[in-house]
C-alpha cells in the first residue's frame, strides 16, 4: 500500500467530514493519486442524534482539557467509526475531526477526535490533524478543500477561471485558474471564508422553531429583508480584510441576536441576505471575474438563499450537481484526496489558500 501511494499510483481512499453545521458525518470514497481524480466511489451519511448534537454544541468554542471536550471527542470518534466501518478495500482514510474552536489570529485550532483511535478501530492507516502544520507556519489553517477544488476544476474540463462556493456552517470560496499546472503555483488559487454559511440560520431555526434548518428556504421566502441589519453586518472589519482569511463558526458575533427584533420569516430572510451579500462581496478579491460559480454544501438546498446569491453575483450560479458532482460529499472527498497528498509528501495548502508562508503539507498518519 505504502509503495503504491509514494509512487503516485491511484488508490481507493475514504474521506470524512463533520462540519460546523453539526448535522452528522459524511463519508465518501475517491480513487485518486492525490493529483488527479480517477473515479468517485460510494458514500454514506451518519447523522448525529439529538443527544450527540447537544454534547457537541456544549463544547463549541472550547479547547483541549476544557469541560465537555472529552465527551465531544468520544461522540465524534464513535460516529466516525460507525460510518467508516461500512467501507471495504481501502488503502487509507482521511479524518478531519469535529471543529470545536478555530482561532487563526492566535495560531491555534481544535478538531475533536483522534485519528489514532480510528486507525485501531478500522484497521487502516488514517491521516488526520490536517491544519496544525499550516498554522505553525503562519497560515490560517483554513480553508483546506481548495487543492481538491483545483483537481475538480480540471476533472470537469473547466477552461476558464471559476469559483467553488461551499455553504456549510461557514461559507468559503475557492477561485481557480485551471490553466495553471499545479494548485500550489502562483496564481492558481485564491481561497478564503466569505462569512456565514448556514450556521446562523440553523441556530435561529433551532431556537425559534425547534427544527434543524429552514428546509428549502421556505420560511425565508415568506419574509422581508431588513436592509439596515445587512448593512450593519457588512460593516464588520472582517469584510475589509484582504484574503486569505478564515472564520470560526461564531467569528462574526451573534447573528441571530442581530435579528432578534424581527419576526421569524423576516429574521430568516435577513440572515440569508447577509450570507448572500458576503458571498457577493468576495468578488472584489478575485484576480479576474470567474466564468461560473458552482455551489456545494447544505446551503445549496436553500432555494431562497441560492436565488439571492444568483441575483447578487456577476456570473452564472449553479449547484455542483450541474457539473456531475456530489455537493453533499464534496468536502468528505476532499479529505480523502488530501490524505493521499499527505502520504505522498505533496503540499496541501499554499499562500493563496491559507496565507501560509510557503506551500506546506499538513497532517499526520496513524497506523493500526
CA distances from 242 to 26, 139, 158 (A): 31, 14, 26
Residue span of the structural domain in which 126 resides: 2-140+330-366
Residue-level pLDDT at 168: 87
Strand-strand pairing, 293-296 and 162-167: parallel
Whether residue 255 lies inside any domain: the answer is yes
Do 306 and 343 fall into the same domain? no
In angstroms, rounded to a whole number, what is the distance separating the alpha carbons of residues 185 and 166? 22
Q: Is the dihedral of CA 74, 94, 248, 52 positive or negative?
A: negative
Task: Please report, for the domain that includes residue 291, its CATH number.
Answer: 3.30.420.40
In angstroms, rounded to a whole number, what is the distance separating the alpha carbons of residues 329 and 322? 15
Do 319 and 345 fall into the same domain? no
Q: pLDDT, tens digit, for every residue of 238-257?
A: 999 999 898 877 778 889 89
CA 204 to chain centre: 21
Residue 32, Ramachandran bin (φ over 0: left; ψ between -120 and 50: alpha; else beta)? beta
Which residue is associated with the grid cell 497560515? 139
pLDDT along the chain (368 residues), means of 10: 59 93 93 98 97 96 96 98 98 96 89 97 97 92 95 98 94 97 97 93 95 96 98 95 86 90 98 98 97 96 98 98 97 97 97 95 94
Domain count across the chain:
2
Whether residue 242 lies inside any domain: the answer is yes
Residue-level pLDDT at 250: 76
Q: Which three cell numbers stand for residue 41?
A: 466511489
> Of 311, 223, 319, 312, which is closest to residue 271 (Cα–Cα)?
223
Do 169 and 74 fall into the same domain? no
Q: SS in 3 state form for 160-181?
A: CCEEEEEECCEEEEEEECCCCC
Do 317 and 335 fall into the same domain? no
Do 300 and 335 fall into the same domain? no
Whether residue 152 lies inside any domain: the answer is no
Got the DSSP string for 214-269? -GGGTTGGGS---HHHHHHHHTSGGGGSPSS----TTTT--HHHHTTTS-HHHHHH
In angstroms, rounded to a whole number, what is the distance separating the alpha carbons of residues 211 and 298? 15
Do 319 and 296 fall into the same domain? yes
Do 125 and 229 fall into the same domain? no
Residue-level pLDDT at 4: 47
Amino acid at each position: 500500500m505504502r509503495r503504491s501511494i509514494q509512487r503516485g499510483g491511484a488508490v481507493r481512499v475514504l474521506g470524512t467530514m463533520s462540519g460546523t453545521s453539526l448535522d452528522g458525518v459524511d463519508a465518501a470514497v475517491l480513487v485518486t493519486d492525490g493529483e488527479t481524480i480517477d473515479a468517485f466511489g460510494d458514500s454514506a451519511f451518519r447523522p448525529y442524534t439529538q443527544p450527540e448534537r447537544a454534547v457537541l454544541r456544549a463544547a463549541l468554542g472550547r479547547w483541549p482539557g476544557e469541560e465537555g471536550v472529552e465527551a465531544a471527542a468520544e461522540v465524534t470518534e464513535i460516529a466516525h467509526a460507525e460510518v467508516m466501518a461500512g467501507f471495504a478495500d481501502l488503502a487509507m482514510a482521511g479524518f478531519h475531526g469535529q471543529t470545536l474552536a478555530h482561532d487563526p489570529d492566535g495560531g491555534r485550532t481544535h478538531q475533536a477526535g483522534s485519528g489514532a483511535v480510528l486507525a485501531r478501530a478500522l484497521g487502516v492507516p488514517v491521516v488526520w490533524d490536517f491544519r496544525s502544520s499550516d498554522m505553525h507556519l503562519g497560515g490560517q489553517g483554513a480553508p483546506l478543500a481548495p487543492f481538491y477544488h483545483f483537481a475538480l476544476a480540471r476533472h470537469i474540463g473547466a477552461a476558464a477561471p471559476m469559483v467553488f462556493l461551499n455553504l456549510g456552517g461557514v461559507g468559503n470560496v475557492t477561485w481557480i485558474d485551471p490553466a495553471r499546472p499545479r494548485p500550489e503555483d502562483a496564481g492558481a488559487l485564491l481561497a478564503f471564508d466569505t462569512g456565514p454559511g448556514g450556521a446562523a440560520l440553523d441556530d435561529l431555526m433551532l431556537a425559534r422553531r425547534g427544527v434543524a434548518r429552514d428546509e428549502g428556504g421556505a420560511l425565508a421566502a415568506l419574509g422581508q429583508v431588513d436592509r439596515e441589519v445587512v448593512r450593519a453586518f457588512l460593516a464588520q472589519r472582517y469584510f475589509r480584510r484582504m484574503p486569505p482569511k478564515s472564520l470560526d463558526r461564531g467569528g462574526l458575533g451573534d447573528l441571530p441576536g442581530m435579528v432578534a427584533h424581527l419576526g421569524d420569516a423576516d429574521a430568516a430572510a435577513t440572515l440569508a441576505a447577509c450570507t448572500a451579500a458576503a458571498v457577493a462581496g468576495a468578488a472584489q478579491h478575485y484576480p479576474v471575474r470567474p466564468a461560473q460559480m458552482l455551489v456545494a454544501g447544505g446551503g445549496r438546498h436553500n432555494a431562497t438563499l441560492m436565488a439571492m446569491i444568483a441575483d447578487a453575483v456577476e456570473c452564472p450560479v449553479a449547484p455542483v450537481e450541474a457539473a456531475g458532482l456530489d455537493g453533499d460529499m464534496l468536502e468528505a472527498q476532499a479529505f480523502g484526496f488530501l490524505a493521499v497528498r499527505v502520504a505522498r509528501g505533496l503540499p496541501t495548502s499554499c499562500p493563496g489558500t491559507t496565507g501560509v508562508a510557503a506551500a506546506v503539507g499538513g497532517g499526520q498518519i496513524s497506523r493500526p
